[in-house]
Amino acid sequence: MFYISEVEDYIRVEPKLFGLPTIESVEKQLKETYTDFYDKELGKVLSIIEVLEVGEGVIIPGDGAAYYRSRFKLLVWRPELQELVYGVVAEITNFGAFMDLGAMKGMIHISQTMDDYVSFNKTNSLIGKASKRTLKQGDLCIARIVAISHKGGELKIGLTMRQPGLGKIEWIKEDTLKKNKAEQKALKDEEKAAKGKGGKKKK
């Protein structure tokens, strides 16, 4: 889920930025500090939106840098359980697939890719035994987050596509067409049955 978070922190501004206006030096330092930054509570920082306030600078002897108490806004993405995510298959392995979600990567175990017996193919793809559906690198998919782990200080996101409305975009379109055809057929059958009953009159 995307959030705009307001943060207050002491920002360590390096001496190389001292020649710039204070707010500009703090903004540049924030961009350096928060590039690829992830925190369990805050989430993955995508962008520095705005520096709202910069206090007086403090220099610590023996450090050389200046510390400014600053208030700023960040655009972050924080994964949440049961959240739907849209992504691209980045890598296929014999145990599943890794999906690029934009801000981060998630992993789909082979058993969670589709409602079928799935095997790893020599063409570097996953294939369903009965459906013959294939999942390969570059495929666009919709998945659901079912596990979030921070073991060892590293974030791991577990995904599933074994639910209605999830999976490879082409599969979702195929399933929608099948469902619509089945509904239309059922409606026609009901109409025929109703006409059959109404057509016979008692004398």
Answer whether residue 153 is part of any domain: yes
Answer whether residue 181 is part of any domain: no
Output the pLDDT for position 137. 96
For residue 69, what are its two tokens? 């108490």
Range of the domain at 142: 84-174
Same domain? For 71 and 147 the reply is: no
Answer whether residue 201 is part of any domain: no
pTM: 0.80
Same domain? For 58 and 113 the reply is: no
Same domain? For 88 and 167 the reply is: yes
Q: What is the pLDDT of residues 83-111, one digit of tens each?
A: 999 999 999 999 999 999 998 999 999 99
Same domain? For 169 and 90 the reply is: yes
Answer whether residue 46 is part of any domain: yes
Domain count within the chain: 2
- Among 14, 49, 77, the domain boundary falls at 77
Same domain? For 94 and 154 the reply is: yes
Strand order in the sheet with 134-135: 118-121, 125-128, 134-135
Tell me the CA end-to-end span of the chain in Å, nearest whole number.
68
Output the pLDDT for position 154. 84
Answer whether residue 192 is part of any domain: no
The pairing of strands 156-160 and 140-149 is antiparallel
Q: 12 pairs with which residues across the strands?
A: 67
Output the pLDDT for position 11. 93
Q: Identify the CATH number of the domain in which residue 21 sits.
A: 3.30.1490.120
Q: Are 68 and 60 contacting, i.e. CB atoms less than 8 angstroms apart?
A: no
Q: What is the mean pLDDT of each run of 10 residues along the chain (203 residues)?
A: 93 90 93 88 92 90 90 95 96 95 94 95 93 95 96 90 94 91 89 74 52
Same domain? For 50 and 89 the reply is: no
Element (H, E) at 22: helix 22-33
Phi and psi for 86 in degrees, rounded to 5?
-110, 130
For residue 188, what are its two tokens? 């026609």
Output the pLDDT for position 108. 97
Dist. CA 195–CA 202, nearest whole Å: 15
The residue whose two tokens read 């959240």 is 83
